[in-house]
Amino acid sequence: MMDKINAFLIHLDKYLGSSPWFVYLLLGTGLFFTLYLKFPQIRYFKHALRIVVGKYDKDTDKGDTSHFQALSTALSGTVGTGNIAGVALALHIGGPGALFWMLFTAALGMTTKFVEVTLSHKYRDILPDGSISGGPMYYMRKRLNLKLKNGKVLKTGYFLGGLFALATILSSFGSGNMPQINSIANAMWATFKVPQVWTGAILAVLLGLVIIGGIKRIAKVTEKLVPGMALIYIIGAFAVLAKNYQNIPEAFYSIFHDVFTGTAAVGGFLGASVAFAFNRGVNRGLFSNEAGQGSAPIAHAAARAHEPVSEGMVALLEPFIDTILICFLTGLVILSSGVWKEKFENKFQAADIIVLDRIYSEKNKDDVKILSQALNRQAQMPTYTGDLVVEDGHIVTPVSLLHARSIAEDVFVSKDNQPFTGKIHVDHGKVSLPDDVEIRGKSLLHSAPLSAKAFERGYFGHWGQYIISIGLLLFAFSTAISWSYYGDRAVTFLIGQKWVMPYRLLYILGFFIASFTDTTIIWNLSYITIVLMAIPNLLGLLILHKEVKQTIKDYWRIFRREYPDEKIEIKGEY
């Protein structure tokens, strides 16, 4: 039953987040506002830095957090597994060209995030207890109702806001909670042999201590956690770059060259088309910085500010920090270390295995062409159906195993740590492994294990993998903290503030359970909910584009009056 649900979600995602139309909607919105507002990500960048440090703060500003705390909370929600595992996965699938599209998505995303935060802050609610609740669902409810010619009003904004809020609650579990702790627990087990259930129990308690205190406690934790975790990660990254400095020019060249040519087969990497790199790069870019998804505006709505545009400018910095700095650094580390095209001994996940219909070789150009086209969805994958005969751990049936998009080598099958003899059924390339049977061999790596291998190629050597483990722990835990707040604001919007505490308790319970259970279906559900958040948000931003521009004009008019000495620095504004 669960397999059928999982297969349905994967099939549905092909028409949503993985479909070209969504990519064009996402990039198109960012491009439209970039041109419409005359490149605010460039012109407002310096001004945004001054706002973050509190230069223009006023005692009368209303809100629960400072600009920096709001930025830290939002960053803690976006700087997560996407920066470590997501970049590695994009490079693994799309090659160096995918990294360019991640950066391009982030550059346009800076404008998108500026606009969505401005609107969300403008239409936030102040609750009876004095706390703040805001996000895209609030501007949708107040500004996206459809007025008919007869004077009646269709409450379309209520529907869109409700859809967004429901998707946010589901995504809080699917993006910010369960996959994060699952990644942490697996990393702690792989690196330090800490049982997953222990990791889950300890971090669930810590999570509860933070989130039950609400946004003010969350903000106090994230403003200290985010700079610290970024510093640890950056030191480790530069240790790799310094040791592989001679490869950096080639890495830069491949990023920009492969955008127009695709990535040719090299090492164990079987090649990637331009279209595939584009799709994966944009998709991973969204997952990393969440620009257009509408999650970060929920955190920024709580910031102390007397008007919305300044907080929008603070948010403009997020995709720059998250993707253009941290993700680019991760990508450069992986490319300069060379590990992205090398095969390593590892345990094969059944979901990553495809059994091919005959023996293929990377030394045969025709074989490489066939597999490259199949991996880039330009041809049918030549899969095998039948039984694999295994004798003393070795597969004797004349087939090849494709694992992690590479031809597996030195394949060995075992059961209870002893060589396996028997049969393994295969249906259209997919294996059905008997209990306690595992397959090992050499293949490419992806996600966090690929990043970990790259960090071992630096001056820290074997110790580099611990930076990834610790970084993954801090990044993913901080993501879980922030998404709990996004979810409880969505609960407040849908059914009221009294249901926030039950939601938080359920969030903590889900966090614990996911530490030792399979979250594949949750990951796939998250891809759907991300799109269900982004679509109404992006359409709402486009509908209200004139209001956005007028709001910015009003901001600069008041700013000129209050700060006449800084007129030169804002020359060229509306």
On whether both 299 and 359 belong to a single domain, the answer is: no
- Kindly tell me if the per-residue pLDDT of 520 is higher than 70: no
Tokens of 274: 């331009």
On whether both 426 and 380 belong to a single domain, the answer is: yes
Predicted local distance difference test score (pLDDT) of residue 567 = 59
On whether both 386 and 437 belong to a single domain, the answer is: yes
Please check whether residue 569 lies inside any domain of the structure. Answer: no
Last residue of a domain, one of 376, 410, 443: 443
Phi, psi of 446, deg, nearest 5? -145, 175
CA atoms within 13 A on the CB side of 288: 38
DSSP string, 244-277: TGGGHHHHHHHHHHHHHH-B--BTTB--B-HHHH
Tokens of 445: 């790596």
List, in order, residues 6 or more apart from 543 with CB less than 8 Å away.
Answer: 144
Mean pLDDT computed over 436-442: 93
On whether both 110 and 226 belong to a single domain, the answer is: yes
Predicted local distance difference test score (pLDDT) of residue 11 = 78
DSSP string, 501-549: HHHHHHHHHHHHHTTSS--HHHHHHHHHHHHHHHHHHHHHHHHTHHHHH
Q: Find, among 298, 18, 23, 16, the residue nearest to 161 by Cα.
A: 298
Please check whether residue 116 lies inside any domain of the structure. Answer: yes
99, 339 contact by CB (below 8 A): no
On whether both 330 and 432 belong to a single domain, the answer is: no
For residue 302, CA distances in Å to 60, 120, 127, 533 come to: 15, 10, 11, 20
Distance from chain centroid for Cα 386? 38
Please check whether residue 38 lies inside any domain of the structure. Answer: yes
Please check whether residue 183 lies inside any domain of the structure. Answer: no
Q: Coil, strand, or helix at residue 153? A: strand
Please check whether residue 245 lies inside any domain of the structure. Answer: yes
On whether both 35 and 144 belong to a single domain, the answer is: yes
On whether both 132 and 266 belong to a single domain, the answer is: yes
Distance from chain centroid for Cα 523? 11
Phi, psi of 344, deg, nearest 5? -135, 150
On whether both 9 and 156 belong to a single domain, the answer is: yes
141-181: pLDDT as tens digits: 999 988 877 778 788 899 999 999 999 999 899 888 888 88
Predicted local distance difference test score (pLDDT) of residue 384 = 94
281-323: pLDDT as tens digits: 877 777 677 888 899 899 898 888 888 999 999 999 999 988 8
Q: Comparing 32-41, 336-345, 424-433, 556-565, which segment has the lowest mean pLDDT?
A: 556-565
Q: Coil, strand, or helix at residue 392? A: coil
Q: Find, among 290, 340, 299, the residue nearest to 82 by Cα.
A: 290
Predicted local distance difference test score (pLDDT) of residue 519 = 65
Question: Cα–Cα distance between 174 and 352 in angstroms, integer?
Answer: 21
On whether both 335 and 350 belong to a single domain, the answer is: no
Predicted local distance difference test score (pLDDT) of residue 122 = 94
Predicted local distance difference test score (pLDDT) of residue 100 = 93
Tokens of 161: 């806001």
Percent of the chain with pLDDT over 90: 47
Predicted local distance difference test score (pLDDT) of residue 537 = 94
Predicted local distance difference test score (pLDDT) of residue 367 = 92
First to last CA, the chain: 57
On whether both 320 and 413 belong to a single domain, the answer is: no
Please check whether residue 190 lies inside any domain of the structure. Answer: no
96-130: pLDDT as tens digits: 999 999 999 899 999 999 999 999 999 999 888 87
Give Dmax over CA atoms of the chain in angstroms. 83
On whether both 351 and 429 belong to a single domain, the answer is: yes
361 pLDDT band, cuts 50/70/90, is very high
458 pLDDT band, cuts 50/70/90, is very high
315, 136 contact by CB (below 8 A): no
**Which has the higher per-residue pLDDT, 412 or 75?**
412
Among 179-188, 210-219, 335-344, 522-531, top mean pLDDT goes to 335-344
Predicted local distance difference test score (pLDDT) of residue 478 = 85
Beta strand 132-133 with 125-126 is antiparallel
Please provide the average confidence, as pLDDT, over all residues in the chain: 87
Please check whether residue 566 lies inside any domain of the structure. Answer: no
500-510: pLDDT as tens digits: 999 999 999 99
Q: Find, among 169, 121, 80, 51, the residue nearest to 297 by Cα.
A: 121
For residue 566, CA distances in Å to 47, 556, 574 come to: 10, 11, 15
Residue type, 265: A
For residue 85, CA distances in Å to 171, 312, 518 come to: 18, 28, 17
Tokens of 332: 């450069």
Please check whether residue 281 lies inside any domain of the structure. Answer: yes
The residues facing 441 across adjacent strands are: 346
Q: Find, among 25, 108, 157, the residue nearest to 534 by Cα.
A: 25
Query: With 0-12 CB in 10 A as exposed, 13-18 as middle and 19+ as buried, what is 394?
Result: middle
Question: Rounded to 5 degrees, what angle do the CA atoms 65, 69, 71 make?
Answer: 120
171-209: pLDDT as tens digits: 899 888 888 888 788 778 877 888 989 999 999 999 999
List, in order, residues 6 or more apart from 269 with CB less than 8 Å away.
Answer: 95, 263, 340, 341, 405, 406, 444
Q: Find, among 465, 529, 99, the residue nearest to 277 by Cα.
A: 99
Tokens of 270: 């079987």
* Number of separate domains in the chain: 2
- pTM of the predicted model, to two decimals? 0.87
Q: Which domain holds residue 95?
A: 2-161+218-340+455-463+523-543
On whether both 289 and 393 belong to a single domain, the answer is: no
